[in-house]
Amino acid sequence: MHVLVIEDDRTIGKALERGLTEAGHECVWVKNGRRGLDEALSCHHDAVVLDLLLPEVRGLDVLRKLRAEGVRTPVLALTALGSVEERVTGLKAGADDYLVKPFAFPELLARLEAVHRRTADRPAVVVHAGNMSLDLASRRVTRDGQDIDLTPTEFSILELLLRFAGQVVTRKMLCEHVWDANWEGFTNVIEVHIKRLRDKLAAAGDSDLIRTVRGRGYAVRAL
C-alpha cells in the first residue's frame, strides 16, 4: 500500500512512518491539515491515516473536503477523542474506521489493511471516452495509457461532460455539479476551468473533445 499519514505529533508520526515502511508499505508523512489536504487531493494514495486534531486545517474539515471532492480513498481516523459521539461524528464525516490514542501499532496496521481490502474489493467505476479513461475510484485520467494530471475541479467537469456525451451540459449544470451552489449566471470561473482542461487535453493529444455550444454550454462528441 501507499499510505498518507497526516499527523502533527512528531513522535507518533515518526513511529508510523517507520512501522509502515518496515511492514513493506510506502509512506508519506505530513504534519498539518493544510499540507495533508493538498497531498491527498493531488496524489493517489491507497489509504490515509488522519489525525483529527491538526493545526491549520482540522482533521474533520480535511475529511469532509476530501469526500466533497469525490476522493474515496479509505481513511482511518486517529485521535485522542474517544467518546461515542466523537466517533460517530468522524464516521459520518466520511471516515472508514476509527482508532483512539494511545493505540498498538499492530492493531492500526490490521485496521488499515482491512479498510484497504474492502475498498480494493469494490468494482472500479470507469468512464471511457474513446482512448481516454476516467477511473472514478482513484480519480485518475489516462489517454492511451498515459496519465493526464487534472485538478479535482477539472476532473469533476470532465466527468459530467462524459456522462452526458452527445448532449449539451449547461453552465448551470456544471456549477451545481462541481460547486454544489446555486447558479447566479455572472461568473467566468467555469470558462477558466474549461480552458485549463482543454489545454491539458490538447497537450495529451485530444484538442477537440470539448466544444462550446454558443449560448447554451458545452458538449463532448457522442461516444
More confident: 182 or 85: 85
pLDDT at 19: 96
For the stretch 101-146, pLDDT in tens is 999 999 999 999 888 887 665 555 777 777 888 888 778 899 888 8
pLDDT at 218: 92
Full-prediction pTM beyond 0.85? no
pLDDT at 222: 60
Cell triple for 68? 466533497
Per-residue confidence band for 187, with pLDDT thresholds at 50, 70 and 90: low
Q: Tell me the angle at which helices 59-68 and 84-92 cross, rounded to the nearest 10 degrees.
A: 30
Q: Where are the domains of the chain?
A: 2-120, 126-220
CATH code for the part of the protein at 126-220 = 1.10.10.10
Write the class of the CATH domain 2-120: alpha beta
For the stretch 5-46, pLDDT in tens is 999 999 999 999 999 999 999 999 999 999 999 999 888 788
More confident: 82 or 104: 104
For the stretch 86-98, pLDDT in tens is 778 888 888 989 8
Res. 182: pLDDT tops 60? no
Angle at 154 between CA 120 and CA 26, to 5 degrees: 35
SS3 annotation, 11-55: HHHHHHHHHHHHCCCEEEEECCHHHHHHHHHHCCCCEEEEECCCC
